[in-house]
A and B are shown apart, each in its own frame.
Chain A
Amino acid sequence: MHMADALLSPAVGTTMWAGSVAALGYSSRKLKENIDNQMIPLMGVMGAFIFAAQMINFTIPGTGSSGHLGGGMILAVILGPYAAFLVMASVLTVQALFFADGGLLALGCNIWNMGVYPCFVAYPLIYKPIAGDGTSARRMSIAAIISVLVALQLGPFSVVLETLLSGKSELPFSTFILFMQPIHLAIGLVEGVVTAGVIRYVKNARPEILQSSGAFRPLDTGISVRKVLAFFVIIALITGGALSWFASTHPDGLEWSIEKITGREELAVQERGIAPVLNKIQEKTAFLPDYTFRPAVTGDPEAGNGPAWPSIEAGTSVAGIVGSAMVLGLVLLTGIGVRSFKRR
């Protein structure tokens, strides 16, 4: 469920980056306040552990297909939310760089979807209250399963929202949601059972690890859950506000700024007379107003408005095709040229 660059608009990508960077800064500041230097190598090695654990496949009962671990919740339980968030973010960064899982612009979204939800929503709000002081193994297992389930519902839900707000996909909201959520309910259940199992195993074998790591958990010591919550509510509101503002008025920042500079968009709209009225109605009724009604201003020959396509002159589109072929040819030639020059 890694979000991909190609499905993202710059506005959504930037907003999610802003949210994730804020969470990163906040976590590292909180960690620095009461960090033991021993924590630093532990966190690094735990990140590598997540990778290593993901390499081991297991058979999902009843289906015969195989799955592997995600691991966000195990980290949160063992390292505490702040350290776990940093570890998760680093894992996702390495995945984005080396496996191109998602991509660099989408990394902000991915850190948010797979880091913030388990560490800052599911862990403090669900795992902690249910697991209590960690003496009852059964309560810990139930807490692990439910919190993983919730985190793995919030993540895909965000993927759906991010994709739709970016407007690159035509999938309707309901279809997409109905597809993503049940699948991740199943994944979440398996992951929850595995997470609970691992935590239980560790608790039986080396109970002091879970206890000592408790000391690293600033949520227990000093900082109140309420404060953290308030912070995230505010972040969420700002993000949501920024997101909806961007998405409803300026589908992409660059284009918007060009239009600001040239003023072309405004002119084009004024000239059409009745169009602005229709525009307004459309904007009020449509879930994602702009994508269907954007006039082609930047001179893209095949681009245009969904329902009302401009009549394309054969001349310009032929030019587009010929030109594209030429550009591709030129790029290829450059590449081959550089290669053969280097070989010599």
Chain B
Amino acid sequence: MTFDEEYYNIGYLDRLSYQDTFVHNLDPRVKLITTMLFLFAVVSFPKYEIVALFPFFLFPVLLLTIGEIPLLFILKKVALVSPFAVFIGIFNPLLDPVQVTVLPGLTLSAGWFSFCSILLKFLLTVSTALLLIATTSFPGVCHALRQIGVPSLFVSQLLFLYRYLFVLAEESMRIIRARDMRSYGRRGTGVKVFVRIVGMLFLRTIERAERVYYAMLSRGFQGDMPALRNFRITAADLAFTASVMGCLYLFRFYPVSEKLGLFAQGLF
């Protein structure tokens, strides 16, 4: 996986976020806050917890299906960033060798439980965070941040960064192409050339910033980026928030999986 493929994916995520579904139409603030609560609830479980984490998959699955986001795409992106968490977690089974009996005849070391717990939490948190941006346009998220009270300077910074990301990414892909054409194998990819390329890119960036600034001045820029769309909290937003919070509370404080299992055992 090369960098530019990742960057094309940014464009894809951006396109996904402009669909017209129930999830997409929710207020960005509502989605941001419920997502944060969800992350908190998931991360707050003790380190050996596995069973109680499963009900939480309901939230990303609903976002994914109602928001009509392709599952494989999200899974691919999750896999792409997994190395760090997996790497840190993989030592748990070795370092925490206390044996635990799961079923009669099946014992595992306690570390496997904490490792699985890390993996589950990782899957839940990363996929939900990705789904947030796949169902909310980035300007929407920025607007929500501003309304929540993040300094407007920082919000403008995010909006600018996002706007010019695509422009500069294309520019630097042209540079990479030019370098590749002029270099054989590894020759020409050394630090010396890299420094010159980055320096050049930097100078171009500065010049672009100057042009952007004059263009903005001539269009009446006064130091802030106003939002075009006015978001309002609707009944659907409130209902969504209430049900998510209810579910989170239930899943966090009642052993749902276990109760369901006991119930099923009672049936048979």
**A residues neighboring B (CB under 8 Å):** 1-2, 4-10, 13, 24-25, 28-29, 31-32, 35, 37-38, 40-49, 51-61, 64, 66, 68-69, 74, 86-87, 89-91, 93-94, 96-101, 103-105, 163, 167-172, 190, 193-194, 197-198, 201-202, 205-206, 209, 251-255, 258, 291, 294, 296, 298-304, 306-307, 309, 312, 314, 316-324, 326-328, 331-332, 334-336, 338-339, 342
- Decide if B144 is an interface residue (CB 8 Å cutoff): no
- Decide if B139 is an interface residue (CB 8 Å cutoff): no
- Decide if B122 is an interface residue (CB 8 Å cutoff): yes
- Decide if B110 is an interface residue (CB 8 Å cutoff): yes
User: Are B43 and A8 interface neighbours, CB within 8 A?
Assistant: yes
B223 to chain A, nearest CB (A): 5
20 example contacts (A-B, Cβ-Cβ < 8 A) are as follows A4-B81, A5-B42, A6-B121, A45-B208, A48-B167, A49-B205, A51-B169, A52-B168, A52-B201, A56-B175, A69-B198, A86-B153, A97-B133, A168-B47, A168-B117, A300-B52, A303-B46, A303-B113, A331-B57, A338-B65
Interface 9-mer from B209-217, B226-234, B236-244: B209-217
Known: A51-B169, A52-B201. A41 touches B48 (CB 8 A): no
Which residues of chain B from 4 to 24 have any CB-CB distance to chain A below 8 Å in the complex? Answer: 4, 6-7, 9-10, 13
Residues of A within 8 A of B30 (CB): none
**B residues neighboring A (CB under 8 Å):** 3-4, 6-7, 9-10, 13, 35-36, 39-52, 54-55, 57-58, 61-62, 64-66, 68, 77-78, 80-81, 84-85, 88-89, 91-92, 94-96, 98, 100-104, 110-111, 113-114, 117-119, 121-122, 125-126, 129-130, 132-133, 138, 141, 150-151, 153-154, 156-165, 167-169, 171-173, 175-176, 179, 186, 189-199, 201-203, 205-206, 208-210, 212-213, 216-217, 221-223, 252-253, 255-262, 264-265
User: Are B261 and A255 interface neighbours, CB within 8 A?
Assistant: no
User: Are A90 and B175 interface neighbours, CB within 8 A?
Assistant: no
Q: Say whether chain B's binding surface is mostly helix, strand, loop, or mixed.
A: helix
B3 to chain A, nearest CB (A): 4
Cβ-neighbour of A103 out of B89, B91, B126, B193 (below 8 A): B126
Known: A28-B151, A44-B159. A314 touches B122 (CB 8 A): no
Among A32, A69, A91, A93, which residue has the most Cβ atoms of chain B within 10 A? A93
Residues of A within 8 A of B156 (CB): 40, 44
User: Are A334 and B36 interface neighbours, CB within 8 A?
Assistant: no
Among A45, A64, A193, A317, which residue has the most Cβ atoms of chain B within 10 A? A45
User: Are A45 and B260 interface neighbours, CB within 8 A?
Assistant: no
User: Are B122 and A5 interface neighbours, CB within 8 A?
Assistant: yes
B167: nearest chain-A partner, CB-CB? A48
- Supplied contacts A29-B151, A44-B164, A49-B205, 16 more A-B pairs, CB within 8 Å: A37-B217, A37-B222, A40-B156, A41-B216, A42-B206, A52-B172, A58-B190, A91-B161, A103-B126, A170-B96, A254-B252, A300-B255, A318-B103, A321-B261, A327-B55, A327-B256
